[in-house]
Amino acid sequence: MGSTFETIRRLGPAAFVLKAIIAAIVADALLLGFILLRRAYRARFFAKRDARVFEFRRNWEALISGEIPYETWRKKPFDLRIVETIVLDAFEAAGREESARLLNFLRTSGLIDRLIFDAQRLQGWRRRRALVSLGRTRALEGISALAEGLRDRDAETRLAALRGLARTACPEAAEEILLWVGETGLTVPPLPLQSALIQCCAERPQVLLPYLHHAEGPLREVLGRVLGEVATPSLGMDLLEFAVDNLDELRAAAARALSHVQPGLALDALSELARDPIWFVRLRAVVSLGRLNHQGAVPLLLHGLTDSNRLVRLRAAEGLVGIRSEMVSTFEEVVATRDLYGLHAYLTALENAGLRRKLETELETTDSINENGRKLLLAVLKTGTLAVEQPEPSELASAETSFRS
């Protein structure tokens, strides 16, 4: 040993490097040792856990009915964690009746109180985990603890609370979220907020309206998008009000939501929105027109086929194909627009829906058009180009005239 130290001493200035070498070797050994120890520990841990999980699952009914006293597992953190995991996983696949039974078990066993306590008192990732777990139970008594999480200083915790509230999917949770965004504005990314509100407002979209009237800026956009997703026919008149809003996002949301309204009420508003200067408003409008599945939407969708935006054209074409109407006359009108991009979009939609062959057959057998018109339309259908003989104006001008009228 003495000679080794002597060598190090003689190295002089290089001693630092030698120390570094030794440190690196020690680090190697420590890393390896850690990997080995961790593997050994985990192997034992998982073996033990698997055995307990098996045992709990075997006695599951007795466990949740209370036949097995709760104290037997509640006092052991290892067992408590396993039971909690099994219950929360069971919630994901449970129907209404089973969920109620599981919730009852959580309440009587005191697990829900523990989750609420953890969601309120813990910090960092433990709190986040508790918040999400609490949300997964869909227990109404957990909403206030989740709402507290929304007001945490840490953004990740706020997100976890939001996700937890989203899981409860009830209007009470929506109220809490809306109250919070009303107080603080957008302090989380918009998408998780939208997602949470969509889930919570689906049952009662009316809760959004007062907040939407008072919200400003980006928050108004977010709420508008949510409205677009959750709107129901019961919101009819309110939606018409938003269709002339200054905010593009809100007009788009109204356009989207109008597909749920009676066609008689929606068509006029949608015809305006389909001419909106903003492309995504037009897009929403043509999608809604397609969903209305009403003959009155056809001229508007034909106009959409000639839109400057590719997505609008595509959706208009899909809408046209989706409307159960006389295919030959619709195709005639598409050709009459003399718009190659629109024609391509229509043919794409037709082929995607597997209706191309049907149209061809109808064209071959119909007697609603003359022979020249039939040949022309068949040629357009087969070649996908408009560079064929110009049709008789009387035959193919109907689309434009009907749209203008």
User: Nearest distance from residue 341's CB to other proteins, in Å?
Assistant: 8
Residue 348 near other proteins by CB under 8 A: yes
Residue 320 near other proteins by CB under 8 A: no
Among 17, 62, 140, 244, binds other proteins (CB under 8 A): 17
Residue 86 near other proteins by CB under 8 A: no
Among 59, 108, 352, 361, binds other proteins (CB under 8 A): 352
The site for other proteins, by CB under 8 A, has a size of 47
Residue 192 near other proteins by CB under 8 A: yes
User: Nearest distance from residue 174's CB to other proteins, in Å?
Assistant: 16
Among 125, 295, 370, 372, binds other proteins (CB under 8 A): 125
Among 24, 47, 100, 179, binds other proteins (CB under 8 A): 24
Interatomic CA distance for residues 294 and 258, integer angstroms? 13
Interatomic CA distance for residues 15 and 150, integer angstroms? 55
Per-residue interface string for the shown chain with other proteins, residues 155-174, x marking contact by CB under 8 A: -x--xx--x--xx-------
Buried b or exposed e, range 178-188, using 16+ CB within 10 angstroms: bebbeeeeeeb
Q: Give the nearer residue to other proteins in terms of CB position, either 85 or 325.
A: 85
Output the CA–CA distances (angstroms, integers) from residue 352 to 12, 215, 360, 387, 402, in the order listed. 79, 41, 15, 24, 27
Among residues 266, 250, 185, which one has the least CA distance to residue 212?
250
Look up residue 219 and give its amino acid.
L
Q: Give the nearer residue to other proteins in terms of CB position, either 17 or 179.
A: 17
Q: Give the nearer residue to other proteins in terms of CB position, either 44 or 310.
A: 310
| SS3 (DSSP) at 57 | helix
Measured torsion, CA atoms of residues 148, 154, 159, 165, in degrees rounded to the nearest 10 = -10
DSSP secondary structure string, 80-125?
Answer: HHHHHHHHHHHHHH--HHHHHHHHHHHHHHTHHHHHHHHHHH--HH
Residue 33 near other proteins by CB under 8 A: no
Piece of 94-102, 125-133, 238-246, 326-334 that binds other proteins (CB under 8 A): 125-133
Residue 47 near other proteins by CB under 8 A: no
User: Nearest distance from residue 86's CB to other proteins, in Å?
Assistant: 16
Piece of 66-74, 95-103, 265-273, 306-314 that binds other proteins (CB under 8 A): 306-314
Q: Give the nearer residue to other proteins in terms of CB position, either 70 or 341.
A: 341
Interatomic CA distance for residues 231 and 29, integer angstroms? 62
Is 230 buried (19+), middle (13-18) or exposed (0-12) by CB count in 10 A? buried
Q: How far does CA 4 lie from the centroid of its chain?
A: 67
Residue 168's CB is within 10 A of a number of other CB atoms, namely 24
Per-residue interface string for the shown chain with other proteins, residues 229-248, x marking contact by CB under 8 A: x-------------------
Residue 281 near other proteins by CB under 8 A: no
Residue 131 near other proteins by CB under 8 A: yes
Residue 347 near other proteins by CB under 8 A: yes
| SS3 (DSSP) at 322 | helix
Find the binding residues for other proteins in span 203-232 (CB under 8 A): 229
Q: For the chain, what's the residue count?
A: 405
Piece of 171-179, 267-275, 309-317, 392-400 that binds other proteins (CB under 8 A): 309-317
DSSP state letter for 153: S
Piece of 76-84, 186-194, 240-248, 396-404 that binds other proteins (CB under 8 A): 186-194
Output the CA–CA distances (angstroms, integers) from residue 64 to 20, 91, 346, in the order listed. 58, 13, 58
DSSP state letter for 262: -
Residues that bind other proteins (CB under 8 A): 11, 14, 17-18, 20-21, 24-25, 27-28, 31-32, 34-35, 38-39, 92, 125, 128-129, 131-132, 156, 159-160, 163, 166-167, 189-192, 194-195, 198, 229, 310-311, 314, 344-345, 347-348, 351-352, 354, 384
